[in-house]
Amino acid sequence: MSTAAQWEVRLDVAAFAAIEPEIGEFLSRQGVAGRAAYVSNLVIEEIVRNLIAHTPPYADEETITVALTVTTRMVTVVIEDERPPFNPFEGPELDVEAPLEQRRPGGMGLHLVRNLADDLTYENSSQRNRLIARVSRQ
Amino acid sequence: MLQATQRTDGITQVALVGRLDVSGLHEVDIKFHGATAARAQPAIIDLTGLDYIASLGMGMLISCAQSLRRKGHSMVLVGAKGDVDTALRSAGIDQAIPMAPDVDEALRVLGKA
C-alpha cells in the first residue's frame, strides 16, 4: 500500500518556503522519520532551489511539480519541470577534501543529492525534466 | 533559531537550533553573521540542537568561517549528530571547518583549553 501527495510550486523562494513545512508534515503523518525524512526533504530543497537559482526573473511564474509516494519500504520523490534540460548527474564533482580557503559557499546541493539519495534517475522527454529520487526507509 | 552565549574568554559561542531549511535560514542568516563573522574572534558553533541542515546552511557556515579566517580567527563546529553529522561530512565540511564532539574539545582545537 502507498500514500501519495503532490504540490505545484512557483519557481520562487518564498513560494517554496511556504510549502516546505507541508512536505515535512506529510512525511511525518505517514510515519516517515529519521534518515528517510531528512534525505527526502533535502533532495526536494536542493533540486527546487537549484531550479529557482537557474530561473530568470521573467520565468518565475512558471510552476514545477513535487510529488511524494510513501510505501512501507521507500519514499519516492518525483520533481518535474519544463525548464531547459538539466541533468544533475552532469554537474561538476565537489572536491570534499578542499581546505576552507578553496571552498565556496555554493555548489554543494547536487553533491548532497547524488550522495544521500539511494537511487536517482533523470529523464527528459516531451520537453519535461523528470528527476526521481528513491530513499529507503530501512 | 539562534542562541548566542556570552563567554568571558574572548570566544564567541553560538547555538543553532531546529531546522535550517529555506525559511529557517532566512530567519537566522543575518543574525548568525552578526554574532560570528562581525565579532572577529574565535567561534564555537554548537549544533547539538540542530535537526536539519542542507547546502544553504552549510554555505552560511563556510562563508562565516572564511570571514573569520581572513581576520586570523578559527571556527569550530560542535556536537553535530545523526543525519546532520552525516550531511556535513558528506559535503566535506569537516575538511574545511574543524568538528568537535563537545565544547571542551573545541576549546582545545582553538588552543584555549
CA distance A28 to A79: 20
Which SS3 state, helix, strand or coil, does residue A117 take? coil
pLDDT at A126: 87
Query: Which member of A16, A45, A99 has the closest CB to residue B96?
Result: A99
> In this structure, what CATH number is given to the domain that contains residue B18?
3.30.750.24
The domain in which residue A71 lies consists of 3-136
Q: Does A15 touch chain B (CB under 8 A)?
A: no
Q: Which residue among B23, B65, B96 places its CB closest to the CB of A98?
A: B96
Alpha-carbon torsion A102, A43, A53, B45, what sign?
Answer: negative
B106's grid cell: 573545541
Position A136 scores a pLDDT of: 97
Domain residues for B13?
A: 2-107
- Number of domains present in the structure of chain A: 1
Task: Output the pLDDT for position B109.
Answer: 94
In a domain, B93, yes or no: yes
Is residue B112, in this structure, part of any structural domain at all?
Answer: no
Contacts of B65 (CB under 8 A, 6+ apart): A100, B74, B75, B96, B97
| Structural domains counted in chain B | 1
Q: Determine contact: B23 vs chain A, CB below 8 A.
A: yes
Task: Flag whether B21 is in a domain.
Answer: yes
Residues of chain A with pLDDT under 50: none
Yes or no, beta carbons of B92 and A49 under 8 Å apart: no
Q: What is the DSSP letter of A92?
A: P
CB contact under 8 A, B22 and A100: no
Percent of chain A with pLDDT over 90: 77
Per-residue pLDDT band for B26 (boundaries 50, 70, 90) equals confident
Torsion, Cα A95 A100 A105 A109, to 10 degrees, reads: 30
* Nearest residue to A77 (alpha-carbon basis) of A18, A26, A128: A26
Residue in this structure with the C-alpha cell 544533475, named with its chain if needed:
A88
Residue B113: predicted pLDDT: 64
Residue where the block lists cell 526533504: A41
Contact A20 B66 (CB under 8 A): no
Is B92 a domain residue? yes
Q: Is residue B91 part of a domain?
A: yes
For an interface test with A, give the residue of B19, B81, B83, B99 to mutate (most A CBs within 10 A).
B83
pLDDT digits (tens, 9 = 90+) for B53-109: 999 999 999 999 999 999 999 999 999 999 999 999 999 999 999 999 999 999 999
CATH of the domain at A47: 3.30.565.10
Any domain includes B113:
no
